[in-house]
Structure 1
Amino acid sequence: MSRIRAAVIGGGRNGEHQVSLASAAAVAAALDPDRYQAVRLTIAPDGTWRDGAGAPIGLHAAVSVLQSCDVALPIVHGPHGEDGTLAALLELAGVPYIGSGVRPGALAMDKWVTKLIASALGIATAPGRLFTARTAAGCAWTGPVVVKPVAAGSSLGVCLVRDAESLPAALAEALRHDDRVLVEEVVTGREVDIAVLDGFVTPALEVVADGFFDYEAKYSGSTVFRVPAPIDPAACKALEDAALALYDALGCRGVARVDFFVTEAGPVLNEVNTMPGFTEHSQVPRMFAAAGWGYPELLDRLIRDTLA
């Protein structure tokens, strides 16, 4: 029986390039070599497509490689990848791919739109306002806030602002990553994530960081992940229901990670990730492991579902 040719795409033209390279390398290494032939492709920071040896091949040749494969695994986080861009390319090229399609990728990457959809579903979000480069000067200090780009990941450009003097610099930093920014009230609660795969919901995972869960905390190894999260059954059920409702409303496919704050008043949505970190030690594989799914088994399920 011939092996399945699986194109594993990593990198990307955004600030999550290195994170994506790590995810893609882990995915390619975990594919069962008896069943799969991993075909590596990388998108360089300047947007150039490269083959498995790192040689530049250009978009036209990359599409030819993709079309020679049975399935694609677009393991690219953030803008120009997770936001539906790669899904659109693969759709046009006629290549089956794991993960969410164009619309859910674009909707989930836009944190402002995600908040609007969550609110329509009755799911709480942090009170906040949307600003652009033109309107940011009118952002008045109202107390501690979180400033974040509307469409970015890995906490890039996200700042916890505790005093009025720091607000202009935080806005400028967020605008470096996107042309729209969110300024949200600080939510006091435990950071808890849930992963959804079609109708299956994983055990919840609690993020225990020493301070603000920023880019450094995410990838320095200093953060502790507790899975299953030690929360009571009622709170867990509320998280599961909210995660499933968002997954369905956005139209997600494959795996999505939904991040919440668990507060005394109930769950508060933080964001939805349609292509979350995917090394074996990332949050999503940890949650599936707690449910009894091995890392290779999870990848195999994603591919089988796509080809079916």
Structure 2
Amino acid sequence: MTRPMVKRVAVLFGGISAEREVSLASGRQVIAALESVGYAVQPIDVGTDLGAVIAQLTPPPDAVFNALHGRFGEDGTIQGVLDYMGIPYTHSGVRASAMAMDKSVAKATFAAAGLPLARHRIVPREDLADTDPLPRPYVLKPVNEGSSVGVFIIRDGDNRRADIARDWHFGDMVMAEEYIAGRELTVAVLDGRALAVTEILSDGFYDYVAKYAEGGSRHDIPARIAPAITARAKDVAVAAHHALGCRGASRADFRYDDETDRLVLLEVNTQPGLTATSLLPEQAAYCGMDFPALCIWMVEHAACRV
């Protein structure tokens, strides 16, 4: 049976997480792309009133393009609402979204699948104030945030640890992770297939500004690494995608140390950014799929994940 062409698409963007501005940028690009190819698009700027969002989705559109990022948008929350309403939506479902967003659960899943990880542990915020959770250098990051929000690198001689613990506002727990020297690599996965390996080059730490500000980073695609490392990164990205149960698009982030030939999976993003500087659309274009075609593919593969 031929799948009917989607006509009406609601685009959810904005949201109430720390990544609202990124989501607004993603949403604007998606809306323009979908309108350019003839969809009837209903933009929905998601705020704190969930009832208002549900009202705007009544009567239901043919599909929802989920362009939300961060908590409540990619952690399974809005996915559950859409499943309840029976509205097909883009990207992963409740289970995969919730698992990927919780770094401790995601890492346990990756470890069970035998994927390469950095040493890490979850510590209470009050314990962080008293002692180093890992040998230096190490990275501190929220358990449930993305886009490098709230990420710190603690090196020898750094005396910020107690201040970070005092000012921490990302929950009661903190993830500490071994710092891996070397290159920043990323692999987008679409429909279970790895697209490419990109090396991200920035002046210093690849933080929120470097990710989203124009000129904040440079992308080498394909990454200038050995073919064996390219193949290994692609294989791990696909394995991580399947281990979490992702659907549609995901993006796996890595560190690779040339000196030790060590490739480490950092995390998987189930709602990759779709801004002008984002990596998924760049890799899709490298493989011959322009931005409107990428958005069409996502809409036409939208589904409920109950």
Q: TM over 0.5: same fold?
A: yes
**Whole-Å separation in 1 of the counterparts to 2:16 and 2:244:** 24
Q: Secondary structure at the match of 2:196?
A: coil
Shift of 1:113: 1.4
**Whole-Å separation in 2 of the counterparts to 1:130 and 1:169:** 18
Shift of 1:199: 2.4
Give 2:237's aligned amino acid: A
Q: Secondary structure at the match of 1:277?
A: coil
Equivalent runs, 1:155-234 vs 2, <5 Å:
155-162=148-155, 163-173=157-167, 175-221=168-214, 222-234=216-228
What is the match of residue 76 of structure 1? Answer: 68
Whether the aligned pair in 1 keeps the contact of 2:189 and 2:241 (CA below 8 Å) is yes
Q: Which 5+ residue runs of structure 2 have no aligned equivalent?
A: none
Equivalent runs, 1:274-285 vs 2, <5 Å:
274-285=270-281
Equivalent runs, 1:51-66 vs 2, <5 Å:
58-64=52-58
Whether the aligned pair in 2 keeps the contact of 1:147 and 1:170 (CA below 8 Å) is no
Equivalent runs, 1:129-144 vs 2, <5 Å:
129-140=121-132, 142-144=135-137
**264-273 vs 90-99, greater mean Cα deviation:** 264-273
Q: Of 237, 240, 251, which aligns to 1:243?
A: 237
Give 2:235's aligned amino acid: D
**Whole-Å separation in 1 of the counterparts to 2:98 and 2:5:** 35
Considering only aligned residues, what root-mean-square deviation do their CA atoms show, in Å?
Answer: 2.0
Instruction: Give deviations 1:29-53, integer Å, cap 9, x for gaps.
Output: 0114453011000112xx136xxxx
Q: Of 90, 93, 101, which aligns to 1:109?
A: 101
**137-146 vs 90-99, greater mean Cα deviation:** 137-146
Give the fraction of aligned pairs with identical amino acids, expressed as a percent: 37
Q: Of 21, 25, 29, which aligns to 2:24?
A: 21
**Whole-Å separation in 2 of the counterparts to 1:234 and 1:7:** 42
What is the match of residue 94 of structure 1? Answer: 86
What is the match of residue 8 of structure 2? Answer: 5
Shift of 1:220: 2.3
What is the match of residue 119 of structure 1? Answer: 111
Q: Do the aligned partners of residues 273 and 307 (structure 1) sit closer, same or farther apart at CA in structure 2, a change above 3 Å counting?
A: closer
Q: Do the aligned partners of residues 34 and 125 (structure 1) sit closer, same or farther apart at CA in structure 2, a change above 3 Å counting?
A: closer
TM-score, normalization by structure 1: 0.90
Equivalent runs, 1:258-269 vs 2, <5 Å:
258-263=252-257, 264-269=260-265
Q: Of 257, 265, 270, which aligns to 2:266?
A: 270
Q: Do the aligned partners of residues 147 and 186 (structure 1) sit closer, same or farther apart at CA in structure 2, a change above 3 Å counting?
A: same
Whether the aligned pair in 2 keeps the contact of 1:3 and 1:37 (CA below 8 Å) is no
Q: Does 1:39 align with 2:42?
A: yes
**2-11 vs 70-79, greater mean Cα deviation:** 2-11
What is the match of residue 48 of structure 1? Answer: 49
Q: How many equivalent pairs are there?
A: 296
TM-score, normalization by structure 2: 0.91
Instruction: Give deviations 1:232-277, integer Å, cap 9, x for gaps.
Output: 1100111111111111110001100000111233320111100011
Shift of 1:105: 0.4
**Whole-Å separation in 2 of the counterparts to 1:172 and 1:71:** 43
Q: Secondary structure at the match of 1:203?
A: strand
Shift of 1:62: 2.7
**Whole-Å separation in 2 of the counterparts to 1:60 and 1:108:** 25
Q: Secondary structure at the match of 1:177?
A: coil
**Whole-Å separation in 1 of the counterparts to 2:179 and 2:284:** 30
What is the match of residue 298 of structure 2? Answer: 302
Q: Secondary structure at the match of 2:187?
A: strand
**Whole-Å separation in 2 of the counterparts to 1:172 and 1:158:** 15
Shift of 1:3: 6.8
What is the match of residue 290 of structure 1? Answer: 286
Give 1:85's aligned amino acid: T
Q: Secondary structure at the match of 1:176?
A: coil
Whether the aligned pair in 2 keeps the contact of 1:8 and 1:39 (CA below 8 Å) is yes
Whether the aligned pair in 2 keeps the contact of 1:7 and 1:73 (CA below 8 Å) is yes
Larger RCO (CA within 8 A; separation ≥ 6): 2
**231-240 vs 157-166, greater mean Cα deviation:** 157-166
Shift of 1:134: 4.6
Q: Which 5+ residue runs of structure 1 have no aligned equivalent?
A: 50-56
Q: Secondary structure at the match of 2:159?
A: helix
